[in-house]
Amino acid sequence: MAQVARGFGLYEPEEESRRREEVLGRLYEILQRWIKATTERNMGADFAQEAHVELFTFGSYRLGVHTPGSDLDTLCIGPRHVSRDRDFFGRMGSTGEVGDPATAGGVLNLCGENKESLYCLLEGVEDVETIVGVPEAIVPEIKMVFLGVEIDLAFVSLELDVIPRGVDVMKPTIFRNLDDASTKSLNGVRVAAYLFDLVPNVESFRQVLRCIKLWSKVRGVYSNVLGFLGGINMAILVARVCQLYPNAAPSTLLQKFFTVWDMWKWPSPVLLAPIVDEGLGLKIWDPRRNPIDKRDLMPIITPTYPCQNSTYNVTVSTLHIMKQELSNASRVCASVAKGEEKWDKLFERVDFFKLHKNFLQIKVTAASAEELKKWSGFVFSRLRKMIEQIEDCTAGTLHIHPCTEEFQDPGLDASTHCLYYMGLKKAPKDLIRTRMYAPQSTGKSFDLNAAVDIFRRILYNFKEHTPTMDCFVSSMKHKDLPSFLTEPKKEEKKGEEEKKVGNENGEDGKENGESGAKRPRTEEGEGPPALESKRGGEEDGEKQPEVKRARAEEKEGANGSA
């Protein structure tokens, strides 16, 4: 198992590990300087002497399963007199709307409001290469690249005048008077710490989890945002298998992982420990009391208070895709056990564009790289909403398969656009749900205008939206996909042949630095219904982020890329 993981480059070099430790140390020092200055400004010099913050890691790094280049999830815990908006982000009542004094160049300028905020302090650090504040996220955080390491930094202000060194985050009382964002931030740290107490062998847990993360990525089912599996979901699933087979070797645990979850009767919940209500008024997952919890399709429950469903994003379509992948992996593992296959078979990369005949292309554009990063991140985080709307407006008769990768057209400016894709096909009969209304379809086509219109309204609610941020949604058939997604690079093939006979020019035949891929074969049999499409209008006289829906042959060469 460890050899398989190393073969796929899942362990980072020692140099990179040392750099992460250095970055964490420097970040800790910056945070201490910031909290003392902030406390002196807010409370006076006497309080500043005792001022202190704690820095925690969570996610894959805390679990010890991070890979080279992966981001570092961190949480800063400060005292009650420190405000997330004012002192962490530097926002002093700004809205982020165009014309707001804090808005410069179409992007929210957090440092422009409070130059003594942590955001502004980090922006002035020479080794911080890029920094973006995301105050409106479900978990507000500062995203930055520090000495080449990507860091997501969240903040929680506890109901304490002074944060003690080594503060115990596992005490339930730590949640007193916290908002929902702070509760979610703390839960990430608590779950990561508690998992080690719940598994019989931590090293076996880590080995299996590394392989499961790799499998989910290469098979296209690694994205909690899109309704697939995320890091914490997989960690809980692996931990449960470790509990069921406490003495099993890692290779056996890997096989059992797919056997257990292939046979699992969803929506039966996955629990690592009993659900406990500490009586602090926080909502816990309980379908007996909360009717909305009964709708969860694949409940994987976090083991610490407040216990919540970590897979609330799963849709009918994404659950079906994951069940198919689990079943396929279970068969591969059975073949490995018989000596008929090797482990490499389990980690074969899926070719998404071979799976479908019809697609939706979502093209995201912006005026600059900084603007695109914010805008595309918001659009990507809302793609699940469009999946749900399509499922509803077609009464579940259309199956939506979102691609977890982001693409860019090599013929366009990479700093101002990106592309996302969804595959479409008729849903299997056992997935078609009965609705109170008929699907919006005529003949062999479906009208998805209503779903896209709702998606457009959601995008327009982005508080940092500017007139230069756009989104174009188009339906297209496989034959109309951009060639860089589907066509083999003939020059690459020619170059490989020339290398064999000794190409005197030493050319490899590649264009634009792209690697080649075999031309996908479309599926046989009747394809899914074609999509009706028409141009959406503007509402209430205001310009909406433009969501264009056109037939593939009307598009500009079918070009458009967490």
73 is in an annotated binding site: yes
Catalytic residue among 60, 204, 317, 376: 60
- How many CA within 13 A on the CB side of residue 63? 33
Tokens 């009706």 correspond to 532
The three-point CA angle 43-47-53 to 5° equals: 100
CA 8 to chain centre: 22
CA atoms of 224 and 528, how far apart (whole Å): 27
152 is in an annotated binding site: yes
List the strands of the sheet with 358-365, edge to edge.
398-402, 417-426, 358-365, 470-477
- In this structure, how many other beta carbons lie within 10 angstroms of the beta carbon of residue 299? 22
Contact 117, 88 (CB under 8 A): yes
Catalytic residue among 28, 61, 71, 283: 71
245 is in an annotated binding site: no
CA atoms of 139 and 131, how far apart (whole Å): 16
Phi, psi of 340 (to 5 degrees): -85, -20
Catalytic residue among 213, 363, 425, 477: 213
Catalytic residue among 119, 222, 305, 420: 222
Catalytic residue among 73, 85, 296, 470: 73
Residue 73 is a catalytic residue = yes
Residue 480 is a catalytic residue = no
222 is in an annotated binding site: yes
Catalytic residue among 85, 152, 293, 480: 152
409 is in an annotated binding site: no
Contact 421, 362 (CB under 8 A): yes
- In this structure, how many other beta carbons lie within 10 angstroms of the beta carbon of residue 151? 23
End-to-end CA distance of the chain: 27
Return the sign of the alpha-carbon dihedral for residues 16, 19, 23, 25. Answer: positive
Residue 71 is a catalytic residue = yes
Phi, psi of 295 (to 5 degrees): -80, -15
Residue 108 amino acid letter: L
196 is in an annotated binding site: no
- In this structure, how many other beta carbons lie within 10 angstroms of the beta carbon of residue 7? 11
The number of helices, as runs of H, and strands, as runs of E, in the chain is 14, 14
536 is in an annotated binding site: no
Tokens of residue 111, six digits: 């440092």
Residue 375 amino acid letter: W
SS3 365: strand
Residue 152 is a catalytic residue = yes
As annotated, the binding site for ATP includes 58-60, 67, 71-73, 152, 213, 222
As annotated, the binding site includes 58-60, 67, 71-73, 152, 213, 222
As annotated, the binding site for Mg(2+) includes 71, 73, 152
| Catalytic residue ranges | 60, 71, 73, 152, 213, 222
